[in-house]
Amino acid sequence: MDIRNVDLNLLVALDALLAERSVSRAAVRLHLSQPAASALLARLRELFGDPLLLRSARGMLPTPRALELLGPVRKVLEEIDAIVQPRAAFDAASAVHTFTLSASDYVEYALLPTLADYLEQKAPGVRLEVRPLDLQLVAKQMESGDVDLCITGLQNAIAGLHVRPLYTERMVSVVRRNHPGVGARLTLDMFCSLEHIQVLVRGSGFSTRIDAALAALGRKRHARLAVPHFLLVPEIVARSDMISALPERLARGYANKLRILEPPLDIEGFTVGEMWHERNERDPAQQWLREVLLELAQVPPK
């Protein structure tokens, strides 16, 4: 028997016939005429090579083969029903679930502590697995299901993925407290005379934007150190006389060690957003996580 040639509606009829043990009562249950129900029984007998139900003085009695089929048929129908029914809303308070996120170190700092606090209070059974962001691989990781959600600057938006902005970030200048060469206001001459820490995050363009803005003014800076991650910068700035540009949310987190100053030139900011694959578009758990992140992103860390 090839399952591709089997009308699954026959299993619905078989379940009704075995439950009612009466063609007329099964017909009512199936919203069919009695002749139509009799025709289905005939097809079922042919399909299984067994009479299935036999007439007797006490009504129709199931054959041993019919009794053998009763449990498995009911289970299959329940499983099919579960598949086609609308998915239940995600109950965060009782759910046991793991989400896999991909994010840069800056995004991890800006959003994940707040998200972890939220989960501890509202969704104690929800677990996070965070992977370093690899822009070359993340689309395939989400397509395969290895990553559920990517959070990054939307300058890195990938064609074919769903994208939603979370918040807009601005860039500020930072120096150590009691820096001997910087007064209450950072001037362009000060900015250019100090040694800089560049942040060369692949795909971000932050350093390029600063140098382009300076070049437009006929100026340039001296970069003494180049690092691949934003989170390296605060500690280095705090123990040196170098200056750097940081996203404001990150800089505010180190306000006890750093002075935060307005840059003396326009440094373009960026928008942080979430990206996900179509495979997760309608999943209730994924929808819940995306909405939580959108809500939490509106409140910058203190």
Q: pLDDT tens digit string along 13-72?
A: 999 998 888 899 999 989 999 999 999 999 999 888 999 999 887 778 999 998 998 888
Residue 261 has which token pair? 């100053």
Q: Which amino acid is at 62?
A: P
pTM, two decimals, is 0.71
Residue 152 has which token pair? 């990054």
pLDDT band at 299 (very low <50, low <70, confident <90, very high): confident
Which residue bears the tokens 């064609």? 159
Domain extent listing, the chain? 3-84, 97-168+271-297, 171-267
Sheet of strand 171-176: strand arrangement: 222-227, 195-199, 243-247, 171-176, 258-261
Closest alpha carbon to 133 in 113, 114, 157, 115: 157
Quote the pLDDT of residue 191: 94
Beta carbons within 10 angstroms of residue 170's beta carbon: 14
Q: pLDDT tens digit string along 84-127?
A: 766 678 899 999 999 999 998 899 999 999 999 999 999 999 99
Q: pLDDT tens digit string along 188-215?
A: 999 999 999 998 866 555 567 888 889 9
Quote the pLDDT of residue 9: 84
Number of residues that make up the chain: 302
Closest alpha carbon to 269 in 148, 106, 79: 106
Beta carbons within 10 angstroms of residue 275's beta carbon: 22
Q: Does domain 3-84 have CATH number 1.10.10.10?
A: yes
Closest alpha carbon to 138 in 200, 228, 203: 203
Quote the pLDDT of residue 208: 74
Class of domain 171-267: alpha beta
Q: What is the CATH number of domain 97-168+271-297?
A: 3.40.190.10
Q: Region 213-226: what's the mean pLDDT? A: 91
Q: One fold for both 97-168+271-297 and 171-267?
A: yes
